[in-house]
Chain A
């Protein structure tokens, strides 16, 4: 059903991605698809590398370790943004277009009041991406809690 699955990754917050990474790997194995891990960096030195090239190497290593863990096909793309905080969804959409992704699996936070004036990146992507998008909440909601919300 899917050939290219794009997974946006924030290497600084890997722990909050576990569910989306696992799901993307599972979907890739079932569909024989390739997962594209896309990371966004700026050209200024950051925690994850002094240069975009250094960041790209870290992203490649990350993709390789995911392949080893889950046994699926994977690639990685590091994208440079002038303003990674504000331009994130626009840059990711451009990357999805260039990769020709047919599915995006993306971690996102739980719904909040501020989403009404300040939508999450996941929500912004879902509005604009023409293909399918799977937004994965990191914290599973139990049935009991669901009735409460």
Chain B
């Protein structure tokens, strides 16, 4: 006798979907066992290669920080100068591809089969998207990026002896024209946080969801390449794809953690006078990684989900507070003006060739695109896990447009208020401060500084914890061959090494620059992976039944 009681969480029957018949059994290449009392279940060779490479990387950078620093700096120069057009061109292709999927009949295909129903409400879905997707970055760059572009734009352009521009202004700048500099600065910021990054995430998320939920393949990056590589995807070509995804994710995360640590340190210095030093940052990363480990042990529902909800509430409170106590009307009217400025400048900003604003294009845009691409396996897998039951069109509209609009609102409020302080009140502390400190200097000018600065630090720290926790889960899933129930100690291993990579890169000669160069270097091969993924998605969708 068998029966099933109600409310077991089992989704409705899946309906029609084109399941791929493959000889491959999930977990067949895995090595299962235990080291003393600690169990493991890992993919061979993806775990072994990526794990050993990361451990070797950490020891090399620790042992030879000077040599490692100059190597990273050379890599950064080579990739940003030689491949800037490639990052920009690829990101444009991703946006166009996503928009195409919205308008074609393929948009009606449902993830999880024609009868699948969504697992999460819109609110729960968005909360997880933001906390995982851009958390620390939004806090770090919310004030500093609009302010930087505004300052460089108003400063105008300068050309060096070799005829190459030496300024950091986007496009042609806006020398001396305050109004134009604000619009250009905000447009450039929105460009980096709007459609392009979310298109990158959407592609990886769609590929993972489609090939996992509709085609029945393991939840790992290589599965998306089945239409192109066939059964070979389970061999070395697939191993390489998964290993690249692990590297990209790990260095993408480490960079965010590095930014988070420097900003938390700057905030603690501002509030409590705690010195800004390598030691403080190492202690911070270690302590926060320890908290992340507790969150890892508590699982998705007890750890990341709870922390994400707390952080969403805190972020919203801070946003509303800054909006109400800052220049409310100017910012609200600015929101629509900045959006329009973004549309206006979009063609020029996304142009990949023949640009004169090389510093802006290479130092900001290329770096951002590489950073988002390196985060894409991580955020993509997260989005995939929570997007089952939605149609491709609904998925694309929601993942592409709504988070973009919220990012625009965030940047308009934080950046708008900070710029307003300079333009209207002549308060230039935020403009003159270092990047990590700009947020706190802006908050200084508003009421309840002590409380809001503390909220800012807590936001950075909690985003740090959720990123580290969920990042470990994603890397663990990839290195366990797509199994989502591998033993938890493996996640602990990855969480510790994310922290370790962030520490050794911060301590190497280049500091934050080293983190950035590793992101951009691992982002480059993964960009190629993403381009091929678009072809695979198209092929995969073509065989699904349209509603």
Contacts and interface: CB of A to CB of B under 8 A. Distances in A.
10 contacts: A42-B484, A43-B119, A46-B26, A51-B14, A73-B1, A77-B8, A83-B484, A86-B491, A87-B299, A87-B300
Given A45-B216, A46-B485, A77-B4, 20 more contacts: A43-B388, A44-B218, A45-B219, A46-B483, A78-B10, A80-B8, A82-B301, A83-B301, A83-B473, A83-B484, A85-B486, A86-B296, A86-B298, A86-B302, A86-B303, A87-B300, A98-B7, A98-B8, A114-B37, A118-B297
B19 A50 contact: yes
Contact of A50 (B27, B216, B296): B216
B10 A80 contact: yes
Contacts of A43: 11, 119, 213, 385, 388
B163 interface: no
* Shortest beta-carbon contacts, A-B, top 7: A86-B299, A112-B37, A83-B300, A50-B216, A87-B299, A80-B9, A84-B485
Nearest to B9: A80
A47 B212 contact: no
B329 interface: no
Contact of B2 (A44, A74, A81): A74
Contacts of B37: 109, 112-115
Interface string B17-59: 0010000011100000000111000000000000000000000
A122 interface: no
A46 B484 contact: yes
B105 interface: no
Contacts of A86: 296-300, 302-303, 488, 491
Contacts of A53: 10-11, 13-14
Interface string B205-227: 00000001100111100000000
B161 interface: no
A52 B302 contact: no
Contacts of B10: 52-53, 56, 78, 80
Contacts of A90: 299, 301-302
Interface string B295-319: 0111111110000000000000000
Interface in A72-122: 73-87, 90, 95, 98-99, 109, 112-115, 118
Nearest to B217: A45
Nearest to B120: A82
Contacts of B216: 45, 50-51
B487 A60 contact: no
A93 B4 CA distance: 17
A52 B11 contact: yes
Nearest to A59: B2
B351 to A, nearest CB: 40
Given A45-B212, A52-B10, A75-B1, A82 B300 contact: yes
A67 interface: yes
B469 to A, nearest CB: 10
A64 interface: yes
Contact of A76 (B2, B14, B119): B2
A45 B2 contact: no
Nearest to B28: A47
A44 to B, nearest CB: 4
Interface in B469-488: 473, 482-488
Nearest to B218: A45
Interface string B114-143: 000001000000000000000000000000
A27 interface: no
A112 B487 contact: no
- Residue among A50, A63, A90 with the highest chain B CB neighbour number at 10 A: A50
Nearest to B20: A50
Contacts of A82: 300-301, 385
Contacts of A46: 26-27, 483-485
B425 interface: no
Contacts of B19: 50
Nearest to A13: B32
